[in-house]
Structure 1
Amino acid sequence: MTQHKIWVIDDDRAMRWVLEKTFKEEGFDVTSYEEAQSALDHLTDTQPDVILTDIRMPGMDGLNFLSKVKNSFPDLPVIIMTAHSDLESAVSSYQTGAFEYLPKPFDIDEALALVNRAILHITKLQQQESAKVPVAPPSTEIIGESPAMQEVFRAIGRLSQSHITVLINGESGTGKELVAHALHRHSPRSSKPFIALNMAAIPKDLIETELFGHEKGAFTGANTQRQGRFEQANGGTLFLDEIGDMPFDTQTRLLRVLADGEFYRVGGHIPVKVNVRIVAATHQDLERLVQSGKFREDLYHRLNVIRIHIPKLAHRSEDIPKLAEHFLARAAKELAVSPKILKAETKDYLKQLPWPGNVRQLENTCRWLTVMITGREIYPEDLPTELRQIPLQQRGLETTPLTNTSISFHTQSTNPNTTSHMQANVHSDMQSHAGNHTWDQLLEQWALEKLQNGEMKILEVAAPMFEKTLILAALNQTRGRKRHAAELLGWGRNTLTRKMKELGMDSSDDED
């Protein structure tokens, strides 16, 4: 049996050791390099089956190395690893020819699966050239280091050489148009127009004119011929936002354009040919609209070739501090003032909020803070009243309960490929005694159920969650003042700081 050769390039010694150990245990022939130039020099003598390389290293970086490898060995799979995960590095990796993009930290089994897939790919690969499209400088940055946003970046990178139709779904305010812009900007059509039309913002009787244009005299007031959005976007991308609000009759016309690549202006008799990439977006459940007869099933399947889901802000809470800092800096620049600085406890508080308006609501909040707060630093009590008055049970993702709420415990199982979700609905009845059970009786019931299911170490799951819940409640009651929160909990300030560090909470020792 052939022993496949794997090269690992990373200036992080610990990362090289872990990967080398794992791959050798799986029977691979592994060679490690701490810098890319050495690996490149050895490529003239021997070639591995797969290369894993970090993106940021002293000397030659991973993307430069990848480019040189692809110039000489276009079919050699190269997996890019990086701890600096952003849209530009993901797109650049794919466009330069990366087989896959692996953001750190990653599960070692994920790296192993990618290597196996790369080997399978190389054994079946037919000769083909790596197309290279220069990356246009971004006009608008998408910020996100959360796993959910990394999947979005990966999808944009995968589609960077494609003209395929894309459907973006996500709640209002999540940034669907930003993703549509990124898809266009990193596509072969980037030099052509990007035209956007919001179906929900146009009166229904004007949508067809907006899309397809009209001839002179087509209706009262049509004094001249007018191009529609399809003609304006010819050669480029047409972004149809809130596609679920498109009238049924217009859906029929759109379907014909997608099928034939031509249409008639309103009042016209000569077909107009166009070459347009469609990117559609919606916050609605199109499948449900199809079932209710409000959306054409054939159009749905035409649009739903590739789907990108944009997570709501509450599901990517780790991105909130960077997003807030970005919006504060932008607002300060627009208003020609110094940018505000978020205190650590304010960042923690913002991460707990539900953000029903998603990124748009966060951006508006940062504008409000820039205008309304006189001090340079922003404390939790400086936030708008409606954000400070959100009940505890509405914060986060079913966490931080005190009364009539629920907790979801998420624990990593011993098998890294599976995640055990231990859920407990712990309803406090300190006042109402819901269902004639106290919270400790319900906790006992939960514990018995988990033990009967064979789950182990449940105390290691439950205890930190309850401690974190009480700490967050005390911090909320004292509006982030740690000394007062410690007093409420019966602890000293140092004890609270130590507990917060143990629980992975921000424990910056700022002055109260």
Structure 2
Amino acid sequence: MSKIWIIDDDQGIRWVLDKALQRVHLQATTFDTVDSLLTALKTSQPHVLVTDIRMPDMSGLELLKKIKHDYPDIVVIVMTAFTDLDSTVEAFQGGAFDYLPKPFDINDAVSLIQRACEHSQMLNLNKKSMAESADIPAPSSADVGKMMTQSHSKSMQEIFRAIGRLAPSKVTVLITGESGSGKELIARAVHEHGNRKNKPFVAINAAAIPKDLLEAELFGHEKGAFTGANQLRKGRFEEADGGTLFLDEIGDMPLDLQTRLLRVLAEGSFYRIGGTQPVHVDVRIIAATHQPLEDRVEQGVFREDLFHRLNVIRLRIPPLRERKDDIPQLARHFLRLSAASLAVPVKQLSNEVLEALCQFDFPGNVRQLENFCHWLTVMSPASLITMDDLPPELLASLSAKVEMGSTTKGSQLTHQTQPLSYEQGSHSVSPYNNVGKADITIAEQGGIQHFPSDWEELLRLEVQKRLNSDEQSIMDNLNKIFEKAVIETALHYYRGRKIDTANRLGIGRNTVTRKLKELDLEA
């Protein structure tokens, strides 16, 4: 059991927290002075320490600093009635797990302390694995590429097979896919699995460089070719000689440069800006775009002959929403990358969060997932990432998707589902039967069926029955039955997702968690 210590000079705060923790079977030791706490620390240490920020003999921030220096494994929560920016930032920079603003909701306080206990347990579990992996070098960008080429998706496995066949040749490759889907990583994989792997891989984004500079970037320039050209400069084609040149966002290349590129592809040579002698290069071209080049040709902004020259082998990278089985593996990998770059312990995703991520469409694809994992590494206070740690915009998107999905299913199943029947006189009227893995939709020919109009009469009969039996506390007993039916039905509807259940019922997630325990419901 986790050891919890509480220090506050306010006896009322200590008493309230102690009693609230006892209700959830957690034991706390309380202290009223810093001296008594420091004396106790010499012989024993807690897993979690809850400290007030303002105390007579030492401030909570000073105590936090001392604790983190002498006992770094103790998880510290700072209580404060002064929720100003400076004290909040100082608390987090000092290593606080989180802060608890006064006055606080007791259920929120207990929930936070429980999360701190889970965090402490996770830290202890991670210490051994981190010690074992201390000699393992930090993941590099090459590791991301390797991860990208490990997929459960059939479409990605087809791409891997294609890479295996085309990599040894010099054939030009056109990679298409949405922004952030990993086109450059696939291009690198083609290069690294071919005969040119020991030669340069040079990448340039045609959309990121101004038109006036792009020509010089690609082809270089001679000394004195223009004002400021004080020396000869090689372009990307020469830098990639013998290797691979990756032309990203080729669809945005200006028409006049498309003409020069076409000549290089056809002849294998070009002239530097201001040059009079041809420069011969041996370069494999891999191009990529998020735009349909056929449409660009029809619009007159992309040369058709260049399109056919590039479109020898085309690889379409599917968006992340089409290969959601890869999300858990990628997310864990990006969390390891972020932890290594920030020199912090690797954080873990709860099953609930993994399920939520697999429901999200990730319009920014792999890049968005990587940024999201980096955000979690920085912002999540605990080692185990839960639904409470997700950013509001992601939760809102998931809730909207669930709403849309449930409405769509309701209309689709109009003629497939049977209306529910209610048996009068039953002691337990259940709004669902044979609950399985699929969402439950109540439908009839006219659309979604409403509950029977006589449910109030059934309630009156139940009340009358309990009155006749001399039952006491009828209101309290019926309220428990009502709450249990509502929460249990909503949880089944949302497949156990507490945040969606809470949002739909109009109550807090912590309230749902508390009611599950009070009503003996399984989450």
TM-score range (shorter-chain normalised) is 0.5 to 0.7
Alignment of 1:52-201 (within 5 A): 140-141=145-146, 142=148, 143-201=150-208
Alignment of 1:38-49 (within 5 A): none
One-letter amino acid of the structure 1 residue matched with residue 249 of structure 2: E
Distance (whole Å) between structure 2 residues aligned to residue 304 and residue 408 of structure 1: 42
Deviation at 1:471, TM superposition (A): 2.6
Is structure 2 residue 288 aligned with structure 1 residue 281?
A: yes
Change (3 A) 1:492 1:468: same
Task: State whether residues 196 and 243 of structure 2, in contact with CA within 8 Å, keep that contact through their aligned partners in structure 1.
Answer: yes
One-letter amino acid of the structure 1 residue matched with residue 353 of structure 2: T
Tell me, what secondary structure is at the counterpart of 1:278? strand
Deviation per CA, 1:93-137: give whole Å up to 9, x if none. Answer: xxxxxxxxxxxxxxxxxxxxxxxxxxxxxxxxxxxxxxxxxxxx9
Regions of 4+ moved over 2 Å: 137-140, 391-395, 402-409, 436-441, 467-488, 491-494
The structure 2 residue matched to 1:401, chosen from 389, 405, 408, is: 405
Task: State whether residues 392 and 401 of structure 1, in contact with CA within 8 Å, keep that contact through their aligned partners in structure 2.
Answer: no
Task: State whether residues 381 and 388 of structure 1, in contact with CA within 8 Å, keep that contact through their aligned partners in structure 2.
Answer: no
Deviation at 1:153, TM superposition (A): 1.3
Tell me, what secondary structure is at the counterpart of 1:280? strand
Change (3 A) 1:407 1:256: farther
Q: Which residue of 1 aligns with 2:367?
A: 360
One-letter amino acid of the structure 2 residue matched with residue 372 of structure 1: M
Deviation at 1:161, TM superposition (A): 1.6
The structure 1 residue matched to 2:500, chosen from 476, 481, 492, is: 476
Change (3 A) 1:492 1:295: farther
Q: Which residue of 2 aligns with 1:438?
A: 447
Deviation per CA, 1:300-322: give whole Å up to 9, x if none. Answer: 01111111111111111111111
Q: Which residue of 1 aligns with 2:260?
A: 253
Task: State whether residues 494 and 500 of structure 2, in contact with CA within 8 Å, keep that contact through their aligned partners in structure 1.
Answer: no
Distance (whole Å) between structure 2 residues aligned to residue 406 and residue 273 of structure 1: 65
Alignment of 1:256-405 (within 5 A): 256-394=263-401, 401-403=405-407
Distance (whole Å) between structure 1 residues aligned to residue 409 and residue 392 of structure 2: 22
Task: State whether residues 356 and 398 of structure 2, in contact with CA within 8 Å, keep that contact through their aligned partners in structure 1.
Answer: no
Deviation per CA, 1:316-375: give whole Å up to 9, x if none. Answer: 111111111001011111111110010001000000011111111111111111111111
Is structure 2 residue 243 aligned with structure 1 residue 236?
A: yes
- Please list every run of 5 or more consecutive structure 2 residues that lacks an aligned counterpart in the other structure: 1-141, 414-440, 451-490
Deviation at 1:389, TM superposition (A): 1.2
Distance (whole Å) between structure 2 residues aligned to residue 237 and residue 471 of structure 1: 49
Deviation at 1:149, TM superposition (A): 1.6
Deviation at 1:483, TM superposition (A): 11
Deviation at 1:216, TM superposition (A): 0.9
Task: State whether residues 219 and 270 of structure 2, in contact with CA within 8 Å, keep that contact through their aligned partners in structure 1.
Answer: yes
Number of positions where the alignment pairs a residue of Structure 1 with one of Structure 2: 308
Task: State whether residues 401 and 469 of structure 1, in contact with CA within 8 Å, keep that contact through their aligned partners in structure 2.
Answer: no
Deviation at 1:159, TM superposition (A): 1.6
Distance (whole Å) between structure 1 residues aligned to residue 199 and residue 410 of structure 2: 50
Task: Tell which deviates more after alignment, 189-198 or 143-152.
Answer: 143-152
Distance (whole Å) between structure 2 residues aligned to residue 282 and residue 259 of structure 1: 21
Change (3 A) 1:217 1:339: same
Q: Which residue of 2 aligns with 1:90?
A: none
Deviation at 1:478, TM superposition (A): 3.7
Tell me, what secondary structure is at the counterpart of 1:471? coil
Change (3 A) 1:472 1:315: farther
Q: Which residue of 2 aligns with 1:79?
A: none
Q: Which residue of 2 aligns with 1:214?
A: 221
One-letter amino acid of the structure 2 residue matched with residue 279 of structure 1: I
Deviation at 1:150, TM superposition (A): 1.1
Task: State whether residues 393 and 403 of structure 1, in contact with CA within 8 Å, keep that contact through their aligned partners in structure 2.
Answer: no
Give the structure, 1 or 2, with the largest relative contact order (CA under 8 Å, sep 6 or more). Answer: 2
One-letter amino acid of the structure 2 residue matched with residue 148 of structure 1: S
Tell me, what secondary structure is at the counterpart of 1:238? strand
- Please list every run of 5 or more consecutive structure 1 residues that lacks an aligned counterpart in the other structure: 1-136, 410-427, 431-435, 442-466, 495-511
Distance (whole Å) between structure 2 residues aligned to residue 406 and residue 230 of structure 1: 58
One-letter amino acid of the structure 1 residue matched with residue 208 of structure 2: A
One-letter amino acid of the structure 1 residue matched with residue 165 of structure 2: R
Task: State whether residues 222 and 275 of structure 2, in contact with CA within 8 Å, keep that contact through their aligned partners in structure 1.
Answer: yes
- Larger Rg, first or second structure (1 or 2): 2
Alignment of 1:19-38 (within 5 A): none
Task: State whether residues 196 and 239 of structure 1, in contact with CA within 8 Å, keep that contact through their aligned partners in structure 2.
Answer: yes
Distance (whole Å) between structure 2 residues aligned to residue 139 and residue 324 of structure 1: 11
Q: TM-score, normalised by structure 1?
A: 0.55
Change (3 A) 1:408 1:239: farther
Deviation per CA, 1:14-66: give whole Å up to 9, x if none. Answer: xxxxxxxxxxxxxxxxxxxxxxxxxxxxxxxxxxxxxxxxxxxxxxxxxxxxx
Task: State whether residues 494 and 501 of structure 2, in contact with CA within 8 Å, keep that contact through their aligned partners in structure 1.
Answer: no
Q: TM-score, normalised by structure 2?
A: 0.54
